[in-house]
Amino acid sequence: MKMWKRAATAAALTLALSASALAQDGKSGPPQLSFKVAENFLKLPENFYMAEVVGVTLNSQGHVFVVNRGPHPIVEFDKDGTFIRSIADGFPLFEGPHNARVDANDNLWYVDAAANLVVEFDKDRRIKMVLGRRNEPWTWQTHVIEHAIPAPSSFYQPTDVTWGADGSIFVSDGYGNSRVVKFDKDGNLIKHWGERGTGPGEFNTPHSIVADAQGTLYVADRANSRIQVFDADGNFKNEFRIGGPPWSICITPGPNQVMFVGSVGHVYKVALDGKVLGVLGKFGRVPGMFDWVHGIACPDEHTVYAAEELSWRLDKLTVE
């Protein structure tokens, strides 16, 4: 027994020394990136509260839209964090707020996982387009067989939305389904791809989707702990892993794009080829630490907004 203990101790020491040597050689993983958190960035009105913060997006003016699961599901702030308004309070589409995105024309797109809807609001916050269809209990009571299988254009707990340069709409769908759905700019179904599994082009909780300047799609395949890469026709191109499950993805504008990927306890900075360029933070519930980074926005390479579900908080980060 003593010999076994000595051998185990020696093995542990060897592993520790090896790990130390790797760390000294810079081979232990991507660098930790320094960042600062803007203190009390969001200025909420008195007695105005948000619950689980699950989504964040910005428009061309720098206005910040925060999605949360409280009584005010979509809240708009100016670029300095000053409250502007809440949108569509009490409207019945807010069953399971999941995310929001702003397109190139400053239209606001809201994704509700429980209502199975993706809703486009125009600049005046009027409803412009609705994709998917809410569950209607009465149809199940009167047309059970007819409506037993939803149409391909219907969703089963969608999670995110992005667009192609031609206006095509891509929805990650989602918790119930395991696919990506493509519509044309008018909302007509073009195609869908994917099913539950672990192979290329298969998904287990496609949780976030973005497109780069070339129209390449990146899908956060969360439960498979990978990001899958496709062209605009759904052809599989690549997959990569970042060191944690990808919950949310944003991509910076400009000619030299990078991604920031929200995960559990970390935010990763990632090149478009999948190389992890750096890691921010560790797990915790206070500002400067991260829990479930359910939504993320990155208007440039040095500014990141992290929507943290468990802490009911949005953090604005300056990445150094």
CATH number of the domain within which 153 lies: 2.120.10.30
Q: Which residues are paired to 109 by β-bridges?
A: 101, 120
Domain count, the chain: 1
The answer on pLDDT for 20 being more than 50 is no
Q: For position 27, what pLDDT does the model report?
A: 56
pLDDT digits (tens, 9 = 90+) for 242-254: 999 999 999 999 8
Give the integer Cα–Cα distance in Å for 234 and 216: 10
pTM of this prediction? 0.89
Give the integer Cα–Cα distance in Å for 304 and 319: 7
Q: For position 132, what pLDDT does the model report?
A: 96
**Which pLDDT band holds residue 90 (cuts at 50, 70, 90)?**
confident
Inside any domain, residue 19: no
Inside any domain, residue 296: yes
For the chain, give the mean pLDDT.
90
Question: Dihedral sign, CA of 104, 233, 120, 87?
Answer: negative
The answer on pLDDT for 25 being more than 50 is no
Lowest mean pLDDT: which of 27-31, 114-118, 289-293, 315-319? Answer: 27-31
Average pLDDT over residues 179-194: 98
Greatest Cα pair distance in the chain: 76
**Which pLDDT band holds residue 29 (cuts at 50, 70, 90)?**
confident
The answer on pLDDT for 51 being more than 70 is yes
Inside any domain, residue 57: yes
Inside any domain, residue 22: no
> In 3D, which of 195, 188, 193 has the Cα closest to residue 169?
188
DSSP 223: G
More confident call, 93 vs 15 = 93
Inside any domain, residue 21: no
Residue 266 domain boundaries: 34-319
Pair 282, 302: CB distance under 8 Å: no
The answer on pLDDT for 54 being more than 90 is yes
The answer on pLDDT for 305 being more than 70 is yes
> In 3D, which of 96, 77, 45 has the Cα closest to residue 294?
96
Helix (H, G, I), strand (E, B) or coil at 19: helix
Calculate what percentage of the chain has a pLDDT beyond 70: 88
The answer on pLDDT for 138 being more than 70 is no
* Stretch (H or E) spanning 38: none
More confident call, 261 vs 18 = 261
Inside any domain, residue 10: no
Q: ∠ CA 126-127-131 to the nearest 5 degrees?
A: 165
Inside any domain, residue 5: no
pLDDT digits (tens, 9 = 90+) for 269-301: 999 999 999 999 999 999 999 999 999 999 999
Inside any domain, residue 6: no
Give the integer Cα–Cα distance in Å for 186 and 183: 8
Beta-carbon contacts of residue 172 (< 8 Å; ≥ 6 apart): 158, 159, 160, 161, 180, 206, 207, 208, 209, 219, 220
